[in-house]
Amino acid sequence: MKTLTTLIVAALALFAAPPLVAQLQKPKVRAITAFVKLDRERHAAQIAETLGMLRKGKAAIERTGYDVQSIRIVTQPFPDYTRGLTPAQTLAFMRQYEALAAKEDFVANIGPAVLHATDDLGNVARLTEILSHTKDLNASAVVADEHGVRWEVVRATARLLKEVAARTPRSQGTFNFTATALVPEYTPFYPGAWHAGEGRRFSIGLQAANGVEEVFADNPGNAEATREKLAAAMSTHCKQLEQTARAIEKDTGWTYEGIDPTPAPLKDVSIGAAIEKFTGARFGSSGTLTAAALITQALQSLPVKRVGYVGLMLPVLEDARLAQR
């Protein structure tokens, strides 16, 4: 009788308990991003090898039940591998590279026009021409580092934005560009992804705003419980993805740089809506900064190899709720 009573009590407790962390829906993988040191003379073979790794990695991740939205390739700063070309030749190469990306279905990033303080500002003008005459190439410029703001790069970047906006349909050429400050190397997210190494490395970026919303809806206003549950939920997924990434590393010889668990939104998968579930009010109301802090704290506590932003991303042009607000 005692055993039967114990079983009944345990069963009732199970039904009354909140959903287990492991039952939270799986986030999508926004990107598997490869970093390549491009050699202009043999770039086709390099890209083919890189795509072999990326497609193998995508298949491995999808076998574990995670959707992969895109595969991406980031080169070192483009002035390195276009050195010696005329502006017309540079543009011709970039158009060829863009066509290759479209044919092979990967998202291309040609790196920063300016990475170091000593870099030639003329590269920003060259990037202006590239962005004005292509549709899908991503790029950036570093406008600040640990030594401070580089005002001359800020001014050059402002000119780039004004010209590209005027010269592309609906000003959309600017959407493939970003000015960055203190963005870590090997971040998987675009357009700010960059590297200056030897290549043959990869990282993973998530699109996990839906998971944040689910946790926040279950724990409105309770900061400590929400932080703990979010960290536990993200840990479950990130550990699984890292296990797969390590297997990809071993299988392909490409170095795994880490995972960026930043809950990137995408239109109706909204981080703004998630935060409103926690605060019970419009984004920007009392409690918004608390929600921002607990998201960042939870992500930075994850027991996996982390890379990139690892924090809160609020892109108004990619988040329907933030745009509405």
What is the DSSP secondary-structure string of 38-81? Answer: --GGGHHHHHHHHHHHHHHHHHHHHHTT--B--EEEEESPHHHH
Work out the pLDDT band at 23, boundaries 50, 70, 90.
Answer: low
Q: Kindly state the average pLDDT of the residues 221-247.
A: 92
Domain borders along the chain are: 23-69+205-325, 77-196
pLDDT digits (tens, 9 = 90+) for 284-316: 999 999 999 999 999 999 999 999 999 999 999
**Locus of tokens 């409690």:** 287
φ, ψ for residue 302, nearest 5 deg? -65, 135
Q: What is the pLDDT, as a whole number, of residue 217?
A: 85
pLDDT tens per residue across span 182-196:
999 999 999 999 999
- Residue 93: the pLDDT is 98
**Statement: residue 168 has pLDDT above 90:** yes
User: pLDDT band for position 78 (50/70/90)?
Assistant: very high
Count CA atoms within 13 Å of residue 259 on its CB side: 27
Structure tokens at 230: 């979010």
pLDDT above 90 as % of the chain: 82
Look at residue 5 and tell me whether its pLDDT is greater than 50: no
Q: 15 versus 125: which is more confidently predicted?
A: 125
Mean pLDDT over 240-248 rounds to 97
pLDDT score for 24: 61
* Residue range 105-121, pLDDT digits in tens: 999 999 999 999 999 99
- Judged against a pLDDT cut of 90, whether residue 11 lies above it is answered with no
